[in-house]
Every structure is written in C-alpha cells, then in structure tokens.
C-alpha cells in the first residue's frame, strides 16, 4: 500500500486517470482522477487507533500473603484489570509465570485463575495423590505455565521430596493442571483474579511477582 500527498489535481500524485486506492491521514481512500484535471476521494475505512493483534504482558509485583491452612474458602487474592484492548481482538494463548512464590512445602498450595464465569485451576497441590502431603520442596521460582504438547505437567514436578529448606526444581515450562486454553477466543478485557490457598498446617509463605502474557 502506497501513501500519497495530493491536492486538487491528479498531476500532483502522478496518475493519468482512473481510480486508485491510497492511504492519507490514517484513512484508506478510493481516489478518482479525470484526465489530470480533477481528483476526488472517498473514504473506505478509518485506519486510526491501535493495531490489531500482537501481545500484551502484565506484571503484578504485589506481595500477597497466603493464609496458613486457609483452604479454598480463605485464599490469598490478587486481581489484575485489563482494559482498552480494541474490540475484535481475542485471546490466542495465555502464559502465567510464577516468578516468586515463597512458601515451604509446595504440595500444600492450590492456584486458580478466574475471569467472569471462566475458572481454571492451574496448580493443585503438586504431588498430592489424595492422601499424604504432596511435594515437600519449597518455593516456585521462574515457573512458566503454558499449554505445550509434550511438556511435563506442573502436577508431576520432580523431585517430589526435599530435605527441609531445599527449593523445588521449578524453573522452566510446565503444562498447567487444567489448560489455560479455556480463555482462548474470548475478549481479553476484564478482571483476572488469581487465588492461592494453603491446604495444610505447619508451612507458610506468600505470592510475589506474577507475569501474564
């Protein structure tokens, strides 16, 4: 697509006659020229405004205390509001990165994200099988949750046991417990609420920086 500067005569834009589509002042125009003597333009589409597509990264650095043994009914809550993305854009893929969750015994923790009526459990008591206490390692650092064929589920993070105070092997890409694709093809605007709960006594911690993109 070429861009033209033009006035009232076709000679100034270098076309001898007929019609041409041009861009002028962020508008797509149909330009009509009659024997280099007269030119008129009809607006086809306004091209102003943010471009369609692309990606958005949201970083939330707030520290949220995770209530000890609070269970699903008493989680730590963190909300991100996204607005201003033009109508017509939809979510293609979401990645959630847990950059700094500092909590001993990660097998105690459950994480879920909601927007409106859509709810997705992304981590649920890593290593827990319905009995026992789950993965005994500490902290989630650099844990990227992204729907990826063939990637390890975060639920199966290894090692499953650590000596007291040793960190989990948590850095890298993992599939979330439930696919984040539940948000795909929906309007990206809205309030995204991340809830984190502790489901056993004796270990404490907090959620720090989280990235959404």
Q: Are residues 65 and 19 in the same domain?
A: no
Instruction: Based on the fold, state whether residues 75 and 178 are members of the same structural domain.
Output: yes
Please answer whether residues 24 and 3 qualify as being in contact, where contact means their C-beta atoms are separated by less than 8 angstroms. Answer: yes
- Residue 37 and residue 69 share a domain: no
Q: Which pLDDT band holds residue 12 (cuts at 50, 70, 90)?
A: very low
Per the structure, the complete domain to which residue 123 belongs is given by: 58-212
Q: How many domains does the chain have?
A: 2
**Statement to judge: residues 106 and 206 lie in one domain:** yes
Residue 84 and residue 164 in one domain: yes
How far out from the chain centre does Cα 140 lie?
19
pTM for the whole structure: 0.75
Same domain assignment for residues 93 and 32? no
What pLDDT shows up at residue 211? 83
Q: Greater confidence, 61 or 137?
A: 137
């Amino acid at each position: 697509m070429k861009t033209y500067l033009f006035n009232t005569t076709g000679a100034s834009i270098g076309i001898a006659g007929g019609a041409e589509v041009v861009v002028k002042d962020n508008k797509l125009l149909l330009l009509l020229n009659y024997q280099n003597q007269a030119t008129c333009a009809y607006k086809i589409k306004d091209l102003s405004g943010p471009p369609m597509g692309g990606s958005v990264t949201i970083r939330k650095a707030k520290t949220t205390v995770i209530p000890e043994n609070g269970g699903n009914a008493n989680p730590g809550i963190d909300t991100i509001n996204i607005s201003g993305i033009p109508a017509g854009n939809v979510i293609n893929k979401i990645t959630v990165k847990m950059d700094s969750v500092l909590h001993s015994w990660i097998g105690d923790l459950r994480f879920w994200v909601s927007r409106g009526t859509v709810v997705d459990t992304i981590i649920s008591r890593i290593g827990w099988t319905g009995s026992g206490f789950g993965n005994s390692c500490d902290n989630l650092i650099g844990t990227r949750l992204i729907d990826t064929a063939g990637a390890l589920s975060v639920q199966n993070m290894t090692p499953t046991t650590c000596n007291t105070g040793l960190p989990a092997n948590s850095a890298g890409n993992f599939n979330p417990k439930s696919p984040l694709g539940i948000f795909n093809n929906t309007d990206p605007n809205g309030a995204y609420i991340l809830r984190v709960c502790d489901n056993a006594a004796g270990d404490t911690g907090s959620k720090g920086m989280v990235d959404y993109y």
